[in-house]
Amino acid sequence: MFALCDVNSFYASCETVFRPDLKGKPVVVLSNNDGCVISRSAEAKAFVVMGEPYFRQKEAFRRHGVTAFSSNYELYADMSDRVMTTLEEMSPCVEIYSIDEAFCDLSGVRNCKDLTEFGKEIRSTVLKRTHLTVGVGIAQTKTLAKLANHAAKKWQRQTGGVVDLSNVDRQRRLLAVVPVEDVWGVGRRISRKLNAMGIKTALDLSEQSTWVIRKHFNVVLERTVRELRGEPCFELDEFAPEKQEIVCSRSFGDRVTEYEQMRQAICYYAARAAEKLRGEHQHCRFISAFVKTSPFSLNEPYYGNSASVKLLTPTQDSRDIINAASKCLSRIWKEGHRYQKAGVMLGDFFSQGVAQLDLFDENAPRKNSGLLMDILDQLNAKSGKGTLYFAGQGIKPQWQMKREMLSPRYTTRYCDLLLVR
C-alpha cells in the first residue's frame, strides 16, 4: 500500500503561513522574472489561470484583490524539508517525489492501524508543525494513490482530505468519474489521442487491452493501465538515484544584446552548474551551452542554438567547465538578436576515481583542483552564495532576473523562531 501526500497549493500556502492576514484570500506565486502564475490559493482558483503570464492577468488581479508574490525558492525548500521530516518520522519508508509530494509505504502500517485514521494523523501532525495542509491518497499502486489524492483534494470537505481507495468498488466509482487526462502519466498529447479513440475516463483506460495500448502508444502507458487495475509496476524508490544531468538556465530580466553580457551570464551558469556537480560528488565529461530569443515575440526572427564539448578527462573544476561553456558560446553567438534566455548543461557523469586518464589529453588535470574547489564551496556555503566568485561572471550583472514582489527570508534569516515550536 502507498500513500501519496502532497501539500495543497504549496508555494502560495508557504507565503500565507507567514502572512496570516492573507489567510482565506486569493494569493498567487509567480515564476522567475514574475513571468507566469505557478501556484494559486484555493480562493484564487476562480479567477486566476494557472501557467498564464502575469502581465495578462494583472488587471483581473487588481479587480479581485489578488496578492501576488515573486517565487522565493529558499523559503519553499526550507518548508519542504520540514514537511518531509515529519513524514519520515511517521512512516517507515518515504520517497520524496517532488518539492511538495511524497509517497509513503504503508504495507506495515496496515496491520496495526486503520489507513484512513493514519492519513488523518499525518494531516494533523503536518498542520501542527508547519501550518501547511496536506492531502492524502491511499491505494495499492502509485497511480491509484495519485488518483485517490486527486479525489481527496477535489472533495476536500466530504473526505476530510484523506481518501483510502483499497476498496475495489470505491475504486471503480472514482475511476468512472475521473477524466483520462487527470491520470498520472497521461499528458495533453496522449489524452487527445485517447479521447479520439473514445477513451474518456480513467475507467475506460483501465479496461483497455494492454497489447492494444502498447501497439498504439508505448510501454509507459501500458504500465499506467496495469497500475489502474491494481497491478503494481512502480516501486517505492526511497533513495534518489544519481543524477544523469545538471541544467542551470534562466530567463533574463531584460533582453541581452551584447556578447560581454551573455558571456558573463554563461560564466555564472557554468559556475553554478559546477557547484551543483560537486554537490552530487560527480565529475562530468559533457558540457553544453545554449542561447535563445523569445519564442513569443512575433516581430523578430527566432534564434536558438546550442553547442557542446566532450572532454577527454572528466572534471569537476569550475575553471574547466567555465572554459568549455565559454567556448561553446563563441560558436553559437549571433550578433543582432535580443536574447531572452541562456543556460549550461552538464552530463556524462563519472564518480570520483572511476575515470580513466587519457594518454593524449592536452589538458592535464589541474594540480590541487579538488582542494581548491572544496575551499571555494565551503566559503560560499558558510558566508553566503557569491562570497567568492569568478571574475568572468562580472561585477554588476545587468542580466539578472526580476523579482519585484519577493517575500522576506522568513525561515532562513531572522524569523526561524516562529516555526521552531
Partner DNA sequence: TCTGGGGTCCTAGGACCC
Interface residues toward DNA, by CB under 7 A = 6, 31-33, 35-36, 38, 51-53, 55, 97-101, 146, 184-191, 218-220, 241, 243-251, 255, 276, 294, 296-297, 310, 338, 340-341, 343, 401
Q: How far is the CB of 114 from DNA (least distance, A)?
A: 27
Contact indicator for 303, 334 with CB cutoff of 8 Å: yes
Residues in contact with 17: Cβ distance below 8 Å, sequence separation at least 6, in sequence order: 79, 130, 131, 132
d(CA 285, CA 330): 19
Cell 589538458 maps to which residue?
363
Q: How far is the CB of 169 from DNA (least distance, A)?
A: 26
SS (H, E, C) the chain: CEEEEEECCHHHHHHHHCCHHHCCCCEEEECHHHCEEEEECHHHCCCCCCCCEHHHHHHHHHHHCCEEEECCHHHHHHHHHHHHHHHHHHCCCEEEEECCEEEEECCCHHHHCCHHHHHHHHHHHHHHHHCCCEEEEEECCHHHHHHHHHHHHHCHHHHCCEEECCCHHHHHHHHHHCEHHHCCCCCHHHHHHHHHCCCCEHHHHHCCCHHHHHHHCCHHHHHHHHHHCCCCCCCCCCCCCCCCEEEEEEEEEEEECCHHHHHHHHHHHHHHHHHHHHHCCEEEEEEEEEEEECCCCCCCCCCEEEEEEEEEEEECCHHHHHHHHHHHHHHHCCCCCCEEEEEEEEEEEEECCCCCCCCCCCCCCCCCHHHHHHHHHHHHHHHCCCCCCCHHHCCCCCCCCCCCCCCCCHHHHHCCHHHHC
Q: How far is the CB of 68 from DNA (least distance, A)?
A: 13
Which of 25/243 has CB closer to DNA?
243
Contact indicator for 144, 227 with CB cutoff of 8 Å: yes
Which of 109/273 has CB closer to DNA?
273
Which of 108/279 has CB closer to DNA?
279
Which of 40/341 has CB closer to DNA?
341
Query: CB count, 10 Å around CB of 238?
Result: 13
Contact indicator for 171, 201 with CB cutoff of 8 Å: no
Which of 167/218 has CB closer to DNA?
218
Which of 164/275 has CB closer to DNA?
275
Q: How far is the CB of 10 from DNA (least distance, A)?
A: 8
Which of 31/171 has CB closer to DNA?
31
Q: How far is the CB of 87 from DNA (least distance, A)?
A: 15
Which of 244/412 has CB closer to DNA?
244
Q: How far is the CB of 217 from DNA (least distance, A)?
A: 9
Q: How far is the CB of 93 from DNA (least distance, A)?
A: 19
Q: How far is the CB of 115 from DNA (least distance, A)?
A: 22
Q: How far is the CB of 283 from DNA (least distance, A)?
A: 16
Q: How far is the CB of 85 from DNA (least distance, A)?
A: 19
Contact indicator for 33, 149 with CB cutoff of 8 Å: no
Which of 38/405 has CB closer to DNA?
38
CA angle 63, 68, 69 (to 5 degrees): 170
Which of 73/414 has CB closer to DNA?
73
Which of 51/384 has CB closer to DNA?
51
Q: Which three cell numbers stand for residue 125?
A: 501532525
Q: How far is the CB of 39 from DNA (least distance, A)?
A: 10
